[in-house]
Amino acid sequence: MSDLTLTQQLTELIASKPVTPTDLEHAALLALDTMANALAGRATEPGAILLRWAGESLDTQRQTFLFGALTHILETDDLHRASVVHPGCVVVPAAWGVALREGIRGHAVLKAILWGYEAAIRVGMAVGPTHYRIWHNTATCGPYGSAMAAAALLQLDAPATVHALGNAGAQSSGLWQFMDTGAMTKHLHAGRAAEAGVLAADLARSGFSGPSKILEGAKGWFVATCPDADPAAVTRDPAGPWQLLQTSIKPWPSCRHTHPTIDAALELRHRVAVEAIERIEVETYPAALEVCDRPVPRSDYEAKFSLQHCVAAALAREAVDFAAFAGPAREELAALRERVTVRVAEPYATAYPQAWGSAVTATARDGGRLTVRRTHAKGDPEAAISPVELIAKARMLMAYGGVREPDRLIDAILALSDDAALPDLPLRTD
Residues 329, 413, single domain; the answer is no
Residues 362, 390, single domain; the answer is no
Calpha distance 133→222 (Å, rounded): 15
CATH assignment of the domain containing 305: 3.30.1330.120
Residues 232, 330, single domain; the answer is no
Is the preceding peptide bond at 381 cis, omega within 30 degrees of 0? no
Percentage above 70 pLDDT, the chain: 99
Q: Is the pLDDT of residue 347 over 70?
A: yes
Calpha distance 62→195 (Å, rounded): 7
Mean residue pLDDT of the chain comes to: 95
> What number is the average pLDDT over the span 204-217?
98
280 within domain boundaries: yes
Q: What are phi and psi of 352, to 5 degrees?
A: -70, 140
Q: What pLDDT shows up at residue 330?
A: 97
Residues 262, 332, single domain; the answer is yes
Tell me the one-letter amino acid at 412: A
Q: What pLDDT shows up at residue 57?
A: 77
Q: Is the pLDDT of residue 268 over 90?
A: yes
Q: What pLDDT shows up at residue 424?
A: 87
CB 93 within 8 A of CB 69: no
- Contacts of 346-355 with C-beta under 8 Å, sequence gap 24+, read 348/283, 348/284, 348/285, 349/285, 349/286, 351/285, 351/375, 352/285, 352/286, 352/287, 353/81, 353/82, 353/83, 353/84, 353/129, 353/287, 354/81, 354/82, 355/81
12 within domain boundaries: yes
Residues 328, 354, single domain; the answer is yes
Q: What pLDDT shows up at residue 393?
A: 95
Q: What pLDDT shows up at residue 135?
A: 97
The terminus-to-terminus CA distance of the chain in angstroms comes to: 56
- Say which range, 33-37, 123-127, 400-404, has the weakest mean pLDDT: 400-404
* pLDDT band, very low/low/confident/very high, at 241 (cuts 50, 70, 90): very high
Tell me the one-letter amino acid at 45: E
Q: What pLDDT shows up at residue 430?
A: 52
> What pTM does this model have?
0.92
Q: What pLDDT shows up at residue 56?
A: 78
* pLDDT band, very low/low/confident/very high, at 429 (cuts 50, 70, 90): low
Q: pLDDT tens for residues 156-190?
A: 999 999 999 999 999 999 999 998 888 999 999 99
424 within domain boundaries: no
82 within domain boundaries: yes
Q: pLDDT tens for residues 39-94?
A: 999 999 999 999 999 987 789 999 999 999 999 999 999 999 999 999 999 999 99
Residues 148, 83, single domain; the answer is yes
For the beta carbon of residue 397, count every other beta carbon within 10 angstroms. Answer: 26
Axis crossing angle, helix 21-41 with helix 106-126, rounded to the nearest 10: 80
Nearest to 309 by CA among 262, 275, 354, 343: 262
Residues 161, 282, single domain; the answer is no
Residues 238, 282, single domain; the answer is no
Q: Is the pLDDT of residue 389 over 70?
A: yes
Residues 230, 282, single domain; the answer is no
379 within domain boundaries: no
Count: domains in the chain = 2
Q: Is the pLDDT of residue 253 over 60?
A: yes
> What number is the average pLDDT over the span 204-228?
97
Residues 189, 80, single domain; the answer is yes
CB 146 within 8 A of CB 190: no
Residues 154, 300, single domain; the answer is no
Q: What pLDDT shows up at residue 1?
A: 57
Is the preceding peptide bond at 253 cis, omega within 30 degrees of 0? no
Nearest to 190 by CA among 244, 148, 153, 136: 136
Calpha distance 291→255 (Å, rounded): 9
Q: What pLDDT shows up at residue 55?
A: 86
Residues 411, 391, single domain; the answer is yes
Q: What is the span of the domain harbouring residue 328?
A: 256-374
CATH assignment of the domain containing 178: 1.10.4100.10
Tell me the one-letter amino acid at 198: V
427 within domain boundaries: no
* pLDDT band, very low/low/confident/very high, at 293 (cuts 50, 70, 90): very high
Axis crossing angle, helix 307-316 with helix 259-269, rounded to the nearest 10: 30
425 within domain boundaries: no
62 within domain boundaries: yes
What does the chain come to in residues? 430
